[in-house]
Chains A and B, each alone.
Chain A
Amino acid sequence: MELDAKIPPGPLDQKWVTYKSNCRLVNPSNKRKLEVIVVGTGLAGASAAASLAELGYQVKAFCFQDSPRRAHSIAAQGGINAAKNYQNDGDSVYRLFYDTVKGGDYRSREANVYRLAETSSAIIDQCVAQGVPFAREYGGLLSNRSFGGVQVQRTFYAAGQTGQQLLLGAYSALERQVALGQVTMHSRHEMMDLVVIDGKARGIIARNLITGALERHFGHAVLLCSGGYGNVFYLSTNAMGSNVTAAWKAYRRGSWFANPCYTQIHPTCIPVSGDHQSKLTLMSESLRNDGRIWVPRKPGDTRSPNLIPDEERDYYLERRYPAFGNLVPRDVASRAAKERCDEGFGVGPTGQSVFLDFMDATARYGRAEAHQRQMDAPTEEQVLDLGRELIREKYGNLFDMYARITGENPYLTPMRIYPAVHYTMGGLWVDYELMTTVPGLFALGECNFSDHGANRLGASALMQGLADGYFVIPYTLGNYLAGEIGTKTVPVSDPAFTAGEKAVEDHLNRLMAIRGKYSVDHFHKALGKIMWDQCGMARNQKGLEQAISGIRALREEFWKEVRIPGNSRELNPELEKAGRVADFLELGELTCVDALHRRESCGGHFREEYQTIEGEALRDDAHFCYVGAWEWKESAEPILHRETLEFEVMHPTQRNYK
């Protein structure tokens, strides 16, 4: 099968316009008869479910949490980009497109990214209309800030809780449709398998997590909006329940998985404190607007940071990247931190962290405030106190969170940060219409691979999730369903559903029957360690080969030795985890296989063998300028398919943030 991305013809800025004018429509009386399944209720899922229900489709939405409002989009802190150019600082759709393709290290599809930039503006309008309380200026208009990897202020935000406010907006739209009877909401349900009939996605098998009962659900189309797979690393900033299961089951039913090795390690997270650690916490990248990152010039310097004079500090990002300084993209900032720590300059009890220092910003804000208050010759302490007030206003919730987790006071002493797994750019391969290689199966948001290339810029995930859900899928799904109006609802007694349910039941019974010695977490931690050590911020051939054999051995052991208490017909969190970890054990291997095959460095994928003399990522456009989409094969190696990336407008060059 050929990979056809179905990119519309015409100049870049006319493709989406042309598509919207020419795609097929479904008339209202037919929409009422068409059922759509949406798996996941984060920004992509909730916005898609609400928008499709508003159009008149019958929507069934699923989430494993107890309420759709708790999907992990809720935890996004920093903001959402939009090419509004409200700040008059030279922003435009083209610049947002340009920054996103460049930030993604020229491994994304131009047409998709341009459409993302094009729709960004409407997202902000929609969210404000829903009552999302974005930050505002004294004049009552919306406020913006800048974010890593760009030189304009185009990020809209709601304190450090932007994801929460955007998700609550989408959730409220979703609940409105639930009340109107257009959406049937299935909370505490997990998708266990995809049902494919005559080559088309026709439904899912779901498990009711309270009763353990398996359920069959038909849909004329299935939308996966199930998020990313960062938890394959065990420790990540993802929620505990975030998983790859829905996407992985789709992969095993014929939906190809693209670029799994593109994983994002976020530079500003709270460092690991010990083996007990169950998850990592992000400190919003917005902190890099005001915080300066440094390590001592002397390795192993254990003095309190406030006692280390300026000339004995190495502000290594400002040194290496004078043009962007502390605002370089995430992959660059993360690798630079790892480089310093590996060289022995790291700080903190484990030596695995660097300082993020707000002292200069505090003094700067303090002086400005003292000036405004017409204070004559304020003392240094007065200035710092005023500055801290302003810092509290901007970042208060983040500082509080840091203090609570670490027991240290970041107003007085610099924060300590270290990179952590945060986002996964890879995911199910989709064409321009967001359809996977299984007709009728769509993937939206983080669970697809499409828009961020090899590295995602800050404040772009929220934008993509909502663009896909509010403004792309209502058109592209219609184009598909226009051909399905003659398809009758398939009764769930159909043999395909019976077989699907049987397969899930067998899988669960097999897991329950093992009754081994070790908990699910034991295996998950072991997998995470392999992934982080060998397939983390830096990768090489030998390590990846070791990782692949290590994961295979671990998977074998898992299927012999995992211990799951209770039974499958009750609320059983250990069984839920076991199913997810079983899938991570397969995905982990594919991630390493993908990382091994990609003999170049790009964005979040850094192969030690392929770097410049200065230690920057060295791409190989002649051989690897493609999307690598993997096809699953039962008891055989997966097959790689390539979608060559054509750049009509951008000219891939080495990214330069100096």
Chain B
Amino acid sequence: MNFTLKVWRQKDSGDPGHFETYPVTGILEDMSFLEMFDVLNERLIVEGKDPVAFDHDCREGICGMCSMYINGRAHGPMKATTTCQLFMRHFRDGETIVVEPWRAAPFPVVRDLVVDRSAFDRIIEAGGFISVNTGNAVDANTIPVEKDRAEAAFAAAACIGCGACAAACINSSALLFVASKVAHLSMLPQGFAERRSRVVQMVAQMDREGFGSCSNTRACEAECPKEISYSNIAKLNLEYLRASLSPQGPVVQKK
């Protein structure tokens, strides 16, 4: 198979960046999208040119590191699929494929297709945890958790933190990412104690990072490689409301 790639090249965060066109030939349909980039980079290196920088690690769709905006869609055309799990059989022979980095102001470009997603770590720091020191735990079967509740918590916790939701959103909202963590922890009895402070602090940090608001286009859900449900945002809103209306007011944990 042969393709024409239009790839975003940007030396560093200060460089305005531009598209570069590369024909790639002899691609097999069993190759992954990133393996096609390996082929391209191998050629660029041998020709003495700069290879395209892109983030990737596990290449099995779970680490959340890969992050390409392909033909105008986060992680490309396939539903429920990360970039690394796209295979060239999913594309038409001869197609022109446009590849860009995540597009969201809070994810500044580091180089080419690599962006800085440390904002997500800072949102988790703001409250995406249960405060339990090692050694404090009671026996794991002390508190039964309804099976469906545990499964719903798991479904929310399956988020890989790739940032596709924010990249796909017209407002660069990270609400699906935040909601998945809020929903996961607030559905489990172990997470009840901190549910008011958690949601308030995480949303505040999200705002500080410059992510936009949700305007219900559901692009996040459509592009999420782990199919995190948009209904988690409703859960977040409910949690936020509950925290705001609580007689004690929204609790903020002291650091």
Residues in chain A within 8 A of chain B (CB atoms): 47, 50-51, 54, 65-70, 72, 74-75, 84, 86, 122, 124-131, 133-142, 158-159, 161, 164-165, 168, 171-173, 175-176, 178-181, 185, 187, 210, 237, 239-241, 273-274, 276-279, 281-282, 400-401, 404-405, 407, 470-471, 474, 517-519, 521-522, 563, 565-566, 570-571, 573-574
Contact = CB atoms under 8 A, between A and B. Distances in A.
Contacts of B30: 273-274, 276, 407
A125 B137 contact: yes
Nearest to A68: B121
B188 A70 contact: no
Nearest to A180: B255
B185 interface: yes
A574 B141 CA distance: 48
B87 A130 contact: no
Interface in B63-83: 63-65, 78, 80-81
Contact of B147 (A47, A130, A138, A180): A138
A508 B235 CA distance: 51
Interface string B34-45: 110011011011
B85 A405 contact: yes
Given A126-B134, A210-B110, A565-B48, 5 more contacts: A67-B161, A74-B160, A165-B157, A173-B129, A240-B59
B121 A164 contact: no
B120 interface: yes
A411 B226 CA distance: 21
A136 B145 contact: yes
B37 to A, nearest CB: 10
B199 to A, nearest CB: 14
A155 to B, nearest CB: 14
B55 interface: yes
Contacts of B154: 133, 135, 158-159, 165
A276 B125 contact: no
Interface string B11-52: 010000000000000001111101100110110111011110
A179 B201 CA distance: 12
A171 B134 contact: no
A131 B161 CA distance: 17
Contacts of A570: 12, 111
B57 A239 contact: yes
B252 interface: no
Residue of A124, A168, A281, A405 with highest tally of chain B CB at under 10 A? A168
Nearest to A67: B121
Contacts of A70: 57-58, 63-65, 161
Nearest to A278: B35
A175 B153 CA distance: 20
B60 interface: yes
B194 to A, nearest CB: 10
Contacts of B139: 125
Contacts of B56: 240
Interface residues of B, number: 80
Nearest to B39: A276
A278 B185 contact: no
Nearest to B188: A131
Contacts of A521: 38, 42
Residue of A84, A136, A171, A470 with highest tally of chain B CB at under 10 A? A136
A129 B138 contact: yes
A133 B63 contact: no
A47 to B, nearest CB: 8
B95 interface: no
Contact of B140 (A124, A158, A273): A124
19 contacts: A50-B134, A54-B134, A67-B117, A75-B58, A125-B140, A128-B137, A130-B129, A133-B150, A161-B158, A239-B58, A239-B63, A276-B30, A401-B85, A404-B78, A404-B85, A404-B87, A407-B30, A470-B134, A574-B45
Given A86-B141, A159-B154, A565-B45, A281 B60 contact: yes
B141 A142 contact: yes
List the 5 closest pairs (A to B, CB-CB), nearest first.
A140-B144, A172-B129, A129-B137, A125-B137, A133-B154
B133 interface: yes
Residue of A68, A125, A161 with highest tally of chain B CB at under 10 A? A125
B7 interface: no
Residue of A67, A161, A171 with highest tally of chain B CB at under 10 A? A67
A130 B141 contact: no
Nearest to B129: A172
B50 A140 contact: no
B103 interface: no
Contacts of A158: 154
Contacts of B204: none
A181 B158 CA distance: 28
Given A136-B147, A239-B63, A574-B45, A72 B121 contact: no
Contact of B28 (A133, A139, A179, A274): A274
Given A161-B158, A172-B130, A133 B153 contact: yes
Contacts of B51: 565, 573-574
Contacts of B32: 278
A476 B138 CA distance: 23
Contacts of A141: 141, 144
A178 B64 CA distance: 21
Contacts of A84: 140-141
B150 to A, nearest CB: 5
Contacts of A404: 78, 81, 85, 87
Contacts of A172: 124, 128-130
A168 B63 CA distance: 11
Given A131-B188, A134-B150, A175-B124, A474 B134 contact: yes
Nearest to B138: A125
Nearest to A281: B60
Given A124-B140, A239-B58, A276 B121 contact: no
B190 A407 contact: no
B131 interface: yes
B57 A129 contact: no
Nearest to A470: B134
Nearest to B45: A519
Given A131-B188, A239-B58, A571-B114, A563 B132 contact: no
A131 B116 CA distance: 27
B5 to A, nearest CB: 16
A453 B28 CA distance: 41
A278 B111 contact: no
B185 A131 contact: yes
A176 B129 contact: yes
Contact of A54 (B65, B133, B151): B133
Residue of B49, B63, B120, B153 with highest tally of chain A CB at under 10 A? B63
A130 B45 contact: no
Nearest to B29: A407
Given A67-B161, A70-B57, A172-B130, A187 B121 contact: yes
A74 B190 contact: no
Given A131-B185, A171-B124, A175-B129, A279 B59 contact: yes
Residue of B136, B137, B191 with highest tally of chain A CB at under 10 A? B137
A528 to B, nearest CB: 14
Contacts of A86: 141
Contacts of A470: 134
A75 B145 contact: no
B236 to A, nearest CB: 16
B162 to A, nearest CB: 10
Given A54-B134, A519-B46, A164 B153 contact: no
Nearest to B144: A140
